[in-house]
Structure 1
């Protein structure tokens, strides 16, 4: 009888955990798919790399050193 109580408690805990994790996973998957859909519709297809002009170094450290030793 004691084992049956533990089993029921374990099943209840697993169902509660699944009830918490499953909606979060669904939300993550749906938001990712919506982001991909939005990106594919709004991006500029003529632009190969949508990057601004400038160096590809570290934005804060590299640019600061470049400015200091210029």
Structure 2
């Protein structure tokens, strides 16, 4: 949905959807090189993890699950 909030990298979904044909080749090259070399860019190793409440007592850690944004 292009009306949702931006991803953590601040690239809007509208831009990604409308520019997909132009960015697919550079992204594919980047992913292929990463796999071939066995390395990933340092930025790819950072995630934004948010605890989401499942059920039960909110004061217990076991009742939350991690979601990576």
Q: From the CA coordinates, give the structure whose radius of gyration is larger.
A: 1
